[in-house]
Amino acid sequence: MLDGRGSVKRKLGARLWLSGTWLGLMAVLALLAPWISPHDPLAQDLFAGRLPPFWLDGADPAFLLGTDSLGRDVLTRILHGARIAFSVALIAGLATAFVGSLLGLLAGYMRGWVDVVISRLVEIWMAFPPVLFAILLIAVLGTGLTSIIIAIVVIDWTRFCRVVRAEAMNQSAMDYVSSAIVAGRPRRDILWREILPNVLPTIVALLTLEMGIAVIVEAILSFVNLSISTDAPTWGGMIAEGRTSIHQAWWVLAFPLGVLFLTVLSFSQFGEGLKDRFDPVLR
Amino acid sequence: MTAFLTVNNLSAALHGYEQRVLRSVSFSIDTGEVLGLVGESGAGKSMIGKAILGILPSAVDIIEGEILLDGQDLEKMKPADRRRLIGATAALIPQDPLTALNPSRRIEPQITNRLVDILGWTKSAARVRALELLNEVHIDNPERVMASYPHELSGGMRQRVLIASAFAANPKLVVADEPTTALDVTVQKQILRLIRELQARHSTAMVFVTHDLGVVSKVCQRLSVLYGGKIVENSSVADFFDGPKHAYSRALLAATPKYTDPEASLLPVDEAVIEAVAAEVLAADREWRHGG
């Protein structure tokens, strides 16, 4: 295929397609959850507890993926859980990318004392065990969506910072940066208009990876009951509940786990696919 | 007439080291004149060009000497003023056309940025000028090239774009840092002719960094031979090719391959000559240390 400039356009890879479709589908379902969910995610019905999914004996067609031990609809809770997971992924991912990339760009481009301060900070930061760090933070901040997002940003900005710093250093050594300096362009201008566009593919790839990590961290915190409220429909919380009844009702554990797995995998694959496609040098 | 660019006693050293990488380098260039800087790899020829333009690597410090551009001492200026002065009067033709254009930006802004941002041209005036420049460097379809990304152009095309970009603001000084080294031989010749043509038309002062004496004989009026960051001979090109004065220069000239005589084998520079010139550089170092 040729585009307008006469250059060869690469086809969208299968992994970009598959992961993109899954993420798109989940995002739409998450957005529409309050309207398309068959039940109320918090409504309990102890007489309808542990109903199996629709293809098994004893299923109630009103509960497609069955119910948990308190009689709450699994499908409804997965859809509402997607809302929480995607909000965390989007907000925490973007905030982490912003903080980490900004510091990484400054360190890699300005070097000198700025680099020394930021790099030492990263090293100190990374010496803390991340999950413990998160649990401590939540303990201090209190539970809730905002706390989870803050915890993820505080823990994971170093991931962006290190990679973006290295990339900014590579780009700064390129001749086009020298040319821009000779042309009398201000340093700020060189950072934002010359270097940033070349670091952006890396940031995007890391961002999607980070979104997957944010989903996992949120699930972990929910699993240890440090997420939102105890009965809130989170994937991690569902997995934790399902664990206790795995022999009687495997579906309570299996469905949210499968959805979580596919979502995290799709985020990382989507990022890799995007990087391949938008890297100006590989393109 | 005073020289447009004067470099006086310029010395530079790696940050934290006493050993100098540029050793009291002095030369000057008049408007419209081309000075060749020749020497082996590591002789410091590119370093001089970078020092003039203020793009030395951060690990290299200028420890003494002055660089006078249009009568103004660059080392004594405020960084912002120096940036503006260099931006308005000087330009670089870099060595590697593959990394000298930003891969994620189209060609047009890469040529016009300086005109618009530094010299305050309007976008449309800058665009007209860019098209004119691409014509000057003999690019057939400038409109298409302006809309292209660097990876869509060949090495020769990119070097033409870089030359056009260097001459965009009518610079009074151009530093050409081995502009043909990364190109294949057939393209080299065209690019050299092009640089020569633009330099003459704009009567630009030019520092031409190269290791190729054949190129010097075609492009430059004068040359400086460097060894170990020290100028061992300053000469006019005509005198130099009649018979260089310094033993090292003679050895360099003798080591240049002669295309007219395919039977002649490539001769390395005589080791005794190298030892002599190295000793001379070290002697100058001792003298410099006692003096300063």
CA B48 to the chain's CA centroid: 8
Q: Give the per-residue pLDDT at A279.
A: 66
Answer for the pair A103, A161: CB distance below 8 angstroms, yes or no: yes
- Write out pLDDT tens, residues A154-189: 989 999 999 999 999 999 999 999 999 998 888 898
A198 touches chain B (CB under 8 A): yes
A69/A244 Cα distance (integer angstroms): 10
Domain that holds residue A95: 14-32+73-278
Q: Which residues pair with B60 in a beta bridge?
A: B14
Q: Does A111 sit within 8 Å of B94, measured CB to CB? A: no
Q: Give the per-residue pLDDT at A275.
A: 78
Residue from B53, B92, B102, B144 whose CB has the most chain A CBs within 10 Å, to mutate = B102
Q: Is A55 among the domain residues?
A: no
Helix (H) or strand (E) holding A145: helix A145-172
Q: With bands split at pLDDT 50, 70 and 90, how would you rate the model's confidence at B261?
A: low
Q: Give the per-residue pLDDT at A6.
A: 43
Lowest mean per-residue pLDDT among A223-232, B172-181, B249-258? A223-232
A116 touches chain B (CB under 8 A): no
Q: Is A201 among the domain residues?
A: yes
Q: Give the per-residue pLDDT at B258.
A: 66
Does residue B18 have a pLDDT over 50?
yes
Q: Give the HSE-up count for residue B177: Cα atoms under 13 Å, Cβ half-sphere.
A: 25
Q: What is the least distance, in Å, from the CA of A198 to any CA of chain B?
A: 6
For B96, nearest residue in chain A (alpha carbons) = A175
- Count the domains in chain A: 1
Q: Is A9 among the domain residues?
A: no
DSSP codes joined into one string, B40-78: STTSSHHHHHHHHHT---TTEEEEEEEEEETTEEGGGS-
A204/B96 Cα distance (integer angstroms): 28
Q: What is the least distance, in Å, from the CA of A112 to any CA of chain B?
A: 9
Does residue B110 have a pLDDT over 50?
yes
Q: Is A39 among the domain residues?
A: no
Nearest C-alpha neighbor of B277 from the set B254, B252, B255: B252
From chain A, the residues in CB contact with B95 under 8 A are: 175
B163/B172 Cα distance (integer angstroms): 14
B281/B22 Cα distance (integer angstroms): 11
Q: Is A4 among the domain residues?
A: no
Residue from B99, B104, B153 whose CB has the most chain A CBs within 10 Å, to mutate = B104
Q: Does B100 sit within 8 Å of A179, measured CB to CB? A: yes
Global pTM value: 0.83
Averaged pLDDT, B270-275:
84
Q: Does A183 sit within 8 Å of B91, measured CB to CB? A: yes
- Report the CATH number at residue A248: 1.10.3720.10
Q: With bands split at pLDDT 50, 70 and 90, how would you rate the model's confidence at A277?
A: confident
B58/A274 Cα distance (integer angstroms): 34
Nearest C-alpha neighbor of B31 from the set B81, B70, B77: B70
Nearest to A182 among B90, B105, B147 (CB): B90
Does residue A8 have a pLDDT over 80?
no
Does residue A50 have a pLDDT over 90?
no
The CATH class given to the B5-291 domain equals: alpha beta
Q: Give the per-residue pLDDT at B289.
A: 82
